Amino acid sequence: MGYLKLDYNIVVDPGTQATGDLAPGAGLLGHVHAYLDWLSGVLDRHPGLVVENCASGGMRMDGATLAVAQLQSTSDQQDPLRYPPIAAAAPTAVPPEQGAVWAYPQPEFDDDLITTTLGGALLGRIHLSGHLDRMSEHQLALVRDAVTVYKSIRGDLARALPFWPLGLPGWTDEWLALGLRVPGDRTAYLSVWRRGGPAELRVPVRHLAGRTVRADVLHPSAAEAGRAVWDGDGLTVSVPRMPGALLIRVTQDG
């Protein structure tokens, strides 16, 4: 066994009386310390084991647990149109290389929904699921393309710092964006989602403003899925069909 999804679902009260005259929170704190000590011991005994902290679909996402578990599930959400604000906001609580974002492409999805579902996970730790075994060869090619893109950029994700060019995401926002700045500020990645609104939107990228920059859409590979054009201070992003999600790499020239 090399991977353990630890879906440790518990309901805790504000405290416990088991500690007698100590403060009400003492028992709860002791419980947390005991749990982390146990998990650390498991990993000491099995150094090759990877542990995913699921915790009721990501409802427990704290620094103490992240210091022990290698991965953190961000949600159990399976609706690809509701996951974008979760994926976009996840780096506020968990580093991208630890934040497991589920991608559930299904054989009944059309191409746009498949690429949107996959694209939303590419700036996190992609968790691929869905009935891949029932997909057509064309649909499987879309999955392979996304995974290939992810493998080509994941080395940068562990070093990158997040930014939100459109501000922090709202649950019902029609457009959302998450960016990751690679150290040195010559390269950045942006995931941009369209769930409504106009087909074109300007996305500022302030730390590269005034520079000569190249913009490349890495995902989806189909040219008609969307485009991104650098205007000197930001990107004009076009996503003609809904739903749509683009992964864009911006690189300073020279």
- CA distance linking residue 13 with residue 24, whole number of Å: 10
Residue in the structure block whose two tokens are 């934040």: 99
Per-residue pLDDT reduced to its tens digit, 60-116: 788 898 999 999 999 888 899 999 999 999 999 999 999 999 999 999 999 999 999
Domain end position, chosen among 135, 157, 179:
157
Give yes or no for residue 150 having a pLDDT over 90: yes
Strands 99-103 and 125-128: parallel
Q: Is 153 in the same domain as 169?
A: no
- CA distance linking residue 121 with residue 110, whole number of Å: 18
Q: Amino acid letter at 133?
A: D
Domain end position, chosen among 140, 157, 174:
157
Q: Torsions phi, psi of 103, nearest 5? A: -125, 115
Q: Is 127 in the same domain as 181?
A: no
Report the CATH number that the domain containing residue 236 is assigned in CATH: 2.60.40
Residue 74 C-alpha from the chain's centroid: 8
Q: Is 190 in the same domain as 208?
A: yes
Q: Is 90 in the same domain as 190?
A: no
Per-residue pLDDT reduced to its tens digit, 206-217: 999 989 999 999
Widest Cα–Cα separation across the chain: 67
* pLDDT-derived band at 56, boundaries 50, 70, 90: low
Q: Which domain holds residue 240?
A: 161-252
Q: What is the pLDDT of residue 76?
A: 84
Count how many domains the chain has: 2
Q: Is 194 in the same domain as 94?
A: no
Q: Is 94 in the same domain as 33?
A: yes
Q: Is 80 in the same domain as 150?
A: yes
Q: Is 152 in the same domain as 167?
A: no
